[in-house]
Structure 1
Amino acid sequence: MVSLRSLFYYAALAAPISGSPVLESGRRSVSTKVIAEMPVGSFLESTIIRPNGDILATSAMGSPKVYTVKGPSSRNPSVEEVASAYGVQSLWGITEIPPINGVETYVFVGGNLTSLTPLTPAVGSWQAFRLSIPKRGVAKVEQIGDLGRETVLLNGLAPIPGSPGSVLIADSGRGTMGRLNVIEKKWEIDAFAEPEMGVLPNSPLGMGVVAAKFRDGHLYFAAAPTFIYRLRVDWKGSKIPGAKVELVADVSEKFSGIDDFIFDRAGNIYFASNAPSNALGYINTRTGENRIVSGGANETILADCASLAFGRSQNDKNVLYIARGRGFTDEGGFGKVVAVSDLDK
């Protein structure tokens, strides 16, 4: 779920670690604060929260690394490198799956880019990796496999609730979603190929579906540039015969696009909208109404925001952690993690 719109809108990203309460007309007041800065050259792409509350984030630029932010709700969060992937230049989506042999386990994808401006993925270079984090000892990365010569631009991942060890992977460049069985290392490239997932004609970004989530018997997915849809699925995460894609929301009036999204406890949606919107958005899933929660085109605190996740500890279960990038032409920049709190006000 990379901040690709910044390829065409170069926003200034230099912002000190500070709080930034939002007090605009018609908008609730929330607290927005940069809590961690990654090494120079990084560009945070995808985020997941570990069971212990620490953050994992992939880097799509700089180097193919997975970073962690330890103690994100503490006064002094720390940043460490967890692992590197070999054979690819850029890491994108990451998600958690049930433990394998009792070991905390994640899946992430990566590939190569032949150009950043414009973004040009190397077709067929995309691979999946398994990240194992034992209670003691060092993290281990294992290549699950080459995902085929026809993969174009692998992006967001969604674990399949009724199929432990299997995930859906959005191929944004192909405009479909594939299914990967991590344990058996089986790959189905077009598990979902709905027209609404496709790349729109003359799209400047060449991207279709970017992110997906399972909820209440539906597969929800975000597709280019400003739509969220849903589709009825069975308990194994397969399309129910005859099911039709339903539009949940179109946020084009206020936002340039949707990069990643997440449900709150009530079933409503928060989403990251990168450059030029540079904002955290909110969708009432009952009415389709949407609004800006934090950030905005003229603000930098959420510049190039790419992904988001709720905290998992008692201290931060109502805090959204947002990963953001840096200017694509600013090699001296770095990725950041932003905490947005006071969402219930």
Structure 2
Amino acid sequence: MKLRSVSPRTWNGAVALVVAAFVFAAPAASQPRIDVSILPQKNTAFEPLPSNIVAAFEKGNFLESVIVLPNGDLLITEAIGHIVWRVSSTGTRTLFHHSDIQPVGLAVDIDGRIVSSGRTADGTGAVFIFHDDGELERTIPIEGAQFLNGTTFVSPGQLLVADSGAGTILQVDTDTGEVRIWLSGEVLQSHPDRNPLLPAVNGLKLFDGSVYATNSSRMTVLRISLIGPDHRAGEPETVSENVVLDDLAIAADGTIYGTTHIYDSVIRIEQDGSATTIARAEQGVAGSTAAAFGRRTEDRNTLYVVGDGGFYLDPENPAAANVVAIDAGEPGLSLAASLSHLAYPGMERAASMAVVRCITASGSDERRRAAAPDYTRFLELNMTRIAFAGQVYGDGRKAEPTARLYFMHGLDEARAEAMMEGSPYFTEGVYSSCDAEPFDVMLGSMIGAVAWPDEVSRDR
């Protein structure tokens, strides 16, 4: 389960969490803070799947979210210690990020950009964008957010974030920083008669043109269709009920794998709604908080599960917080396949061009300035032959261009090279050489199409 108001402190020699004054006002230190016996949790058959513990963190760690990177490494938020860990598939643990921010949810965009929901040092809700090396690149503050939690991208740059405190889902443009409410309503909010420690809308995942959202307090899984090119929210429908889920991962065929957190288990939910428990505390999934499928060929059938060792339910008596690998026997959904709702581009025949690279001669600045008027007019008069052209800054944008590229259509390599050798920059010695190579245009926003049929890029 996710945390409400968070600040780290020492508790019985271990790092612990202050959620709010009332949260730890339990009748006795040895009693769990949520009475799970009064919840209408569905009884499920236990059919354990093969599993192994990949990494074990010390008692008192709160492993909150997990994503899998293309190279197979896991990124895991540790909510108490303000840490994002990198864990290899063999269990090697290295620090990815540690600062005064509190990262909670995790997501990775199709271009590899890593983001996290959470809080800044002063408690403001925010989305954090990281460089590949873990350095914090940018913070998008979200004033008024209560507790930012699960995340998923619905298209490149468009992130959905669950606010488990407010019972809403926000849409965040990670390029512009624009934030708006994507969906609100009673189905996302807490159940009025249940323990307030059970979060409202919680985990988010994308599958087959819909967002799947858990509501831990209402014990439901919702499916919310994406509508139109701006991915508006459709009417939520319930696909599972009477099961407390924190996070979820979805297999390629639509099977849901959910972490129950306070029930120390992982549950598989078929498309007909039937549920089976596939792992329990004895497999190492005590306090299971989040799950994600592997992304490489060798681990696409592996479901990685993280947890808090039962810390949230009983902070005085937690077990180790583990990373567990479960053999699900079926592959997860690839990142590209999860975006199948985005339109496939049209198909065009590959356009054949010649690309000419002209290298800037050393010490040619004065010659370049003198020849610039004739050179620019030369390009203008040949625009019908040049698809596009531009400058290459081999020494960085603050330095002068080290080369220029010219993409020519309607000319073969010899003719394209001869044309640029007739340009004022070449004849006046600004260029030391101009060499042409064949080039085929395969895709791009400039042509608005690709050079292959849809079937090539569909997940198989």
Which of the pair is proportionally richer in helix?
2
Task: Provide the residue aligned with 2:185 in structure 1.
Answer: 194
Task: Provide the residue aligned with 1:18 in structure 2.
Answer: none
1:249-300 Cα offsets, whole Å, 9 max, x none, are: 11x2xx4x1000111111111100012x111101112x1111211116xx47
Conserved 8 A contact 2:249-2:257: yes
Q: How many residues align structurally?
A: 293
Which whole-Å CA distance do the structure 2 matches of 1:212 and 1:262 have between them? 9
Which whole-Å CA distance do the structure 1 matches of 2:318 and 2:264 have between them? 20
- For 2:284, the aligned partner's letter is I
Task: Provide the residue aligned with 2:147 in structure 1.
Answer: 153
Which of the pair is proportionally richer in strand?
1
With over 3 angstroms needed to count, the CA separation of the structure-2 counterparts of 1:343 and 1:28, relative to structure 1, is farther
Which whole-Å CA distance do the structure 2 matches of 1:80 and 1:330 have between them? 27
Conserved 8 A contact 2:60-2:308: no
Which whole-Å CA distance do the structure 2 matches of 1:129 and 1:155 have between them? 12
Say which of 68, 72, 76 aligns to 2:86: 68
Task: Provide the residue aligned with 1:19 in structure 2.
Answer: none
With over 3 angstroms needed to count, the CA separation of the structure-2 counterparts of 1:173 and 1:209, relative to structure 1, is same
Task: Provide the residue aligned with 2:206 in structure 1.
Answer: 214
1:295-342 Cα offsets, whole Å, 9 max, x none, are: 16xx47211110000111222111110011132535996532111115
Task: Provide the residue aligned with 1:244 in structure 2.
Answer: 235
Which whole-Å CA distance do the structure 2 matches of 1:303 and 1:42 have between them? 12
Task: Provide the residue aligned with 2:322 in structure 1.
Answer: 336
Matched, 1:144 2:139: yes
SS of corresponding position for 1:196: helix
Task: Provide the residue aligned with 2:117 in structure 1.
Answer: 109
Which whole-Å CA distance do the structure 1 matches of 2:209 and 2:86 have between them? 32
Cα deviation, residue 201, structure 1 = 0.8
Matched, 1:227 2:212: no
Cα deviation, residue 206, structure 1 = 5.5
Cα deviation, residue 2, structure 1 = 2.9
Cα deviation, residue 231, structure 1 = 2.1
Cα deviation, residue 40, structure 1 = 6.2
Which whole-Å CA distance do the structure 2 matches of 1:29 and 1:203 have between them? 30
Conserved 8 A contact 1:308-1:322: yes
Cα deviation, residue 244, structure 1 = 2.7
Conserved 8 A contact 2:2-2:199: no
With over 3 angstroms needed to count, the CA separation of the structure-2 counterparts of 1:249 and 1:332, relative to structure 1, is closer
Conserved 8 A contact 1:34-1:301: yes
Task: Provide the residue aligned with 1:80 in structure 2.
Answer: 94
Conserved 8 A contact 1:309-1:321: yes
Conserved 8 A contact 2:284-2:322: no
Conserved 8 A contact 2:55-2:324: yes
User: Which runs of 5 or more structure 1 residues have no equivalent in the other structure?
Assistant: 12-24, 114-121
Q: How does 1:1-345 map to 2 (within 5 A)?
A: 2=2, 10=32, 27-38=46-57, 41-61=60-80, 63-70=81-88, 72=89, 74=90, 77-86=91-100, 88=101, 90-99=102-111, 104-111=112-119, 125-133=124-132, 138-148=133-143, 150-161=144-155, 164-188=156-180, 190-204=181-195, 205=197, 207-225=199-217, 226-236=219-229, 238-239=231-232, 243-250=234-241, 252=242, 255=243, 257-275=244-262, 277-285=263-271, 287-295=272-280, 299=282, 301-326=284-309, 327-328=311-312, 329-330=315-316, 335-341=321-327, 343=329
SS of corresponding position for 2:297: coil
Task: Provide the residue aligned with 1:15 in structure 2.
Answer: none
With over 3 angstroms needed to count, the CA separation of the structure-2 counterparts of 1:41 and 1:331, relative to structure 1, is farther
User: Which runs of 5 or more structure 2 residues have no equivalent in the other structure?
Assistant: 5-22, 34-43, 331-460
Which whole-Å CA distance do the structure 2 matches of 1:83 and 1:280 have between them? 28
RMSD, aligned α-carbons: 2.9
1:104-157 Cα offsets, whole Å, 9 max, x none, are: 3111022279xxxxxxxx9x6222110110xxxx43213422210x21111100
Which whole-Å CA distance do the structure 2 matches of 1:305 and 1:3 have between them? 14
Which whole-Å CA distance do the structure 1 matches of 2:163 and 2:69 have between them? 25
| Larger gyration radius, structure 1 or structure 2 | 2
With over 3 angstroms needed to count, the CA separation of the structure-2 counterparts of 1:145 and 1:342, relative to structure 1, is closer
Cα deviation, residue 224, structure 1 = 2.9
- For 1:56, the aligned partner's letter is L
Q: TM-score, normalised by structure 1?
A: 0.77
Conserved 8 A contact 1:111-1:127: yes
- For 1:111, the aligned partner's letter is R
Query: Percent identical across equivalent pairs?
Result: 22
User: Relative to structure 2, which stretch is displaced further, 217-226 or 312-321?
Assistant: 217-226
Which whole-Å CA distance do the structure 2 matches of 1:112 and 1:200 have between them? 28
With over 3 angstroms needed to count, the CA separation of the structure-2 counterparts of 1:98 and 1:264, relative to structure 1, is closer
Conserved 8 A contact 1:200-1:224: no
Which whole-Å CA distance do the structure 1 matches of 2:252 and 2:83 have between them? 31
Which whole-Å CA distance do the structure 1 matches of 2:171 and 2:160 have between them? 5
1:201-237 Cα offsets, whole Å, 9 max, x none, are: 1331252110122222222211133211112222546
Q: TM-score, normalised by structure 2?
A: 0.58
